[in-house]
């Protein structure tokens, strides 16, 4: 059996090719078949199927190419592999693990708990994915921020309505492909297994999140929405339970804390209870919106993108006066959204639908911050970075007229230090207020942005234009706090049974890495309940 499988693998590998073709050929399987038959001297009538394994675009030269890894089936029938979800057992009567937060880290921790025979009790401060929509409408239309249900809080977390990018640099942290396959099993397109930079889309993610929820409930897990954790019960440096906003307490000695990067009340609670936390550097800046056609022209070096190329993204990094300045969460064919999590603040983020078919492109453009930048807030100890972040968001709210209108400036005007006389309508629905960005940011951030945008324009000719509008601030790039944990057990360094997890704890940065960390924390937790399970 082994030798036969090995032989089959060798034969299959002989029919795998890495090629570079035009976008027109890459988009048409018949033309691709002709190309491969000719290039590899294979009789056309012997090719029964071509499977695309990997796809990426190379736009570095004027002649754009598509990189493909393909498998050719020569006189061999193609049988599409079906992604099958794991055998999730019924855990209704199994040992319980409390998970705080139903973002990617919490949801994938819950799934892994079930897979390994434990019962997850998932506590989410916000609403289910469908009910969240009313609160998103309220912040966009009426400038009302529900501090428990918004773009960051609620089922699926910040990722649900904030784009759905699935690429990560954290490949050493876990099995990225496993997470992608699970997402396909729950309803995502299998193209996320092929694309170099996979993306689901904000319009598609809610259905996938709902399917994960149904699986958790079906197999005996519990999910409680509108359930905010307000305290931790601790005895002898061990977690003993969690207290809820309604006063109820859930007794438990296992808590996976996966609250996301914006759960400031949890950071405050840990600090007040003298549970060790640390300030950590992060990045902060603005979100810039361009016409998508302009970005396409710059990146693809053509007047019109054409039907065979997707809306172009961009990624750019510069060093400005010793500080990093870079694009973050770039959204081709996307929109800018209001992402405040409390009244009295303004926060921006971006997202794209699955087709990326909006007329504008936006990206966070952020400046690297250092611990010394938080010195004016040193009285807050490990929360100094959080209060630095908060101060800018509150200033933006005040400058915007104490509404969700965002402080804005045309890009050339910002670089020139000139308040914009007028502003175009952008994708940001609550509206804009024309400001001089020096009133929003400390001088060092404003100066870095001004210089950095000039450097950006040298790499992307045409980027620096008054067709582009700067929206401020983009401030929730990552958690301003790290909750330290033992590198081996993944428990908090001080509190036994408490597992800091995901973005909020400082161990992830996006859907995939958060999901991987959720699985890892679940495995570490279960290893103390069921030794030799993993």
Tokens of 173: 């942290």
> What pLDDT, in 10s, does the model give residues 289-322?
999 999 999 999 988 898 999 999 999 999 999 9
The whole-number pLDDT of residue 303 equals 86
The whole-number pLDDT of residue 14 equals 59
**Is the pLDDT score of 58 beyond 50?**
yes
Q: Residue 87 in 3-state DSSP? A: coil
Q: Which residue has the higher pLDDT, 347 or 5?
A: 347
What is the sign of the dihedral through the CA atoms of 57, 460, 171 and 158? negative
**Is the pLDDT score of 9 beyond 90?**
no
Grade residue 80 by pLDDT with cuts at 50, 70 and 90. Answer: confident
**What are the beta bridge partners of residue 235?**
238
The whole-number pLDDT of residue 189 equals 93
Task: Give the gyration radius of the chain's Cα atoms.
Answer: 25
- For 408, other C-beta atoms within 10 Å of its C-beta total 28
Please state whether the predicted TM-score (pTM) of the whole model is above 0.75.
yes
Task: Give the mean pLDDT of 58-68.
Answer: 91
Confirm if 497 and 254 have CB atoms less than 8 A apart. Answer: yes
Listing DSSP states for 201-268 in one string gives -TTTHHHHHHHHHHHHHHTT-EEESS--EEEEEEETTEEEEEEETTS-EEE-S-EEE---TT-HHHHH
Tokens of 106: 């919490």
* Whole-number Å distance between alpha carbons of 417 and 247: 52
Tokens of 122: 């998932």
* Whole-number Å distance between alpha carbons of 226 and 295: 41
The whole-number pLDDT of residue 163 equals 63
Q: Which residue has the higher pLDDT, 15 or 499?
A: 499
**Is the pLDDT score of 380 beyond 90?**
yes
Confirm if 414 and 439 have CB atoms less than 8 A apart. Answer: no
User: For residue 275, which of 44, 513, 505 has the smallest C-alpha distance?
Assistant: 505
The whole-number pLDDT of residue 3 equals 43
Residue holding tokens 């600090």? 271
> What pLDDT, in 10s, does the model give residues 155-197?
999 888 766 678 766 555 568 999 999 999 999 999 999 999 8
- For 72, other C-beta atoms within 10 Å of its C-beta total 23
> What pLDDT, in 10s, does the model give residues 394-423?
999 999 999 999 999 999 999 999 999 999
Indicate the average pLDDT of the chain.
93
**Is the pLDDT score of 5 beyond 60?**
no
C-alpha to C-alpha distances, 232 to 235, 243, 291, 526, nearest whole angstrom: 10, 6, 48, 20
Grade residue 458 by pLDDT with cuts at 50, 70 and 90. Answer: very high
Task: Give the mean pLDDT of 235-250.
Answer: 97
The whole-number pLDDT of residue 174 equals 64
> What pLDDT, in 10s, does the model give residues 323-343?
999 999 999 999 999 999 999
The whole-number pLDDT of residue 404 equals 98
* Whole-number Å distance between alpha carbons of 54 and 73: 16
Lowest-confidence pick of 60-69, 160-169, 252-261, 369-378: 160-169
User: For residue 258, which of 489, 507, 487, 493 has the smallest C-alpha distance?
Assistant: 507
C-alpha to C-alpha distances, 346 to 212, 337, 340, 416, 439, nearest whole angstrom: 31, 10, 5, 24, 14
Phi, psi dihedrals of residue 267, rounded to the nearest 5°: -60, -45
């Amino acid at each position: 059996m082994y030798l036969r499988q090995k032989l089959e693998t060798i034969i299959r590998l002989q029919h795998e090719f890495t090629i570079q073709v035009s976008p027109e050929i890459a988009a048409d399987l018949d033309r691709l078949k002709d190309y491969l038959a000719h290039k590899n001297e294979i009789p056309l009538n012997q090719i029964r199927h071509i499977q695309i394994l990997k796809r990426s675009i190379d736009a570095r030269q004027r002649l754009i190419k598509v990189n493909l890894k393909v498998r050719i089936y020569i006189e061999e029938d193609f049988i599409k592999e079906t992604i099958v979800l794991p055998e999730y057992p019924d855990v209704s009567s199994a040992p319980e693990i409390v998970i705080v937060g139903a973002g990617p880290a919490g949801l994938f921790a819950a799934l892994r708990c079930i897979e390994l025979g434990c019962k997850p009790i998932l506590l989410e401060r916000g609403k289910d994915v469908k009910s969240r929509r009313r609160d998103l409408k309220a912040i966009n239309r009426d400038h009302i921020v529900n501090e428990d249900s918004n773009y960051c809080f609620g089922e699926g977390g910040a990722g649900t309505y904030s784009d759905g990018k699935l690429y990560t640099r954290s490949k050493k942290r876990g099995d990225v492909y496993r997470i992608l396959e699970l997402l396909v099993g729950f309803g995502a397109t299998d193209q996320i297994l092929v694309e170099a930079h996979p993306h689901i889309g904000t319009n598609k993610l809610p259905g996938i999140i709902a399917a994960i929820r149904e699986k958790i409930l079906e197999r005996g897990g519990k999910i409680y929405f509108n359930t905010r954790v307000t305290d931790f019960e601790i005895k002898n440096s061990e977690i003993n339970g969690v207290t809820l906003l309604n006063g109820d307490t859930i007794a438990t000695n296992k808590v996976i804390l996966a609250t996301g990067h914006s759960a400031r009340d949890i950071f405050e609670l840990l600090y007040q209870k003298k549970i060790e936390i640390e300030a950590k550097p992060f990045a902060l800046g603005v979100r810039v919106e361009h016409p998508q056609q302009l970005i396409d022209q710059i990146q693809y070096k053509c007047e019109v993108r054409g039907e065979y190329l997707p809306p172009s993204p961009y990624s750019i990094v510069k060093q400005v006066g010793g500080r990093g300045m870079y694009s973050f969460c770039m959204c081709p064919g996307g929109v800018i959204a209001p992402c405040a999590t409390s009244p009295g603040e303004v926060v921006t983020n971006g997202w794209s639908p699955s087709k990326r078919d909006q007329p504008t492109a936006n990206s966070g453009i952020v400046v690297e911050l250092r611990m010394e930048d938080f010195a004016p807030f040193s009285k807050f100890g490990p929360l100094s970075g959080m209060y630095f972040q908060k101060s800018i968001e509150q200033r933006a709210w005040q400058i915007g007229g104490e509404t969700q209108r965002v402080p804005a400036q045309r890009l050339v005007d910002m670089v020139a230090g000139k308040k914009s006389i007028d502003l175009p309508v952008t994708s940001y629905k609550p509206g804009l207020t024309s400001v001089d960005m020096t009133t929003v940011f400390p001088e060092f951030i404003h100066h870095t942005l001004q210089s950095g945008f000039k450097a950006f324009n040298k790499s992307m000719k045409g980027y620096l234009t008054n067709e582009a509008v700067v929206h401020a601030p983009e401030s929730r790039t990552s958690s301003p706090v790290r909750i330290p944990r033992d590198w081996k057990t993944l428990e908090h360094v001080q509190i036994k049974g408490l597992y800091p997890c995901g973005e909020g704890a400082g161990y992830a940065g996006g859907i995939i890495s958060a999901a991987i960390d959720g699985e890892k924390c679940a495995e570490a937790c279960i290893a103390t309940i069921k030794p030799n399970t993993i």
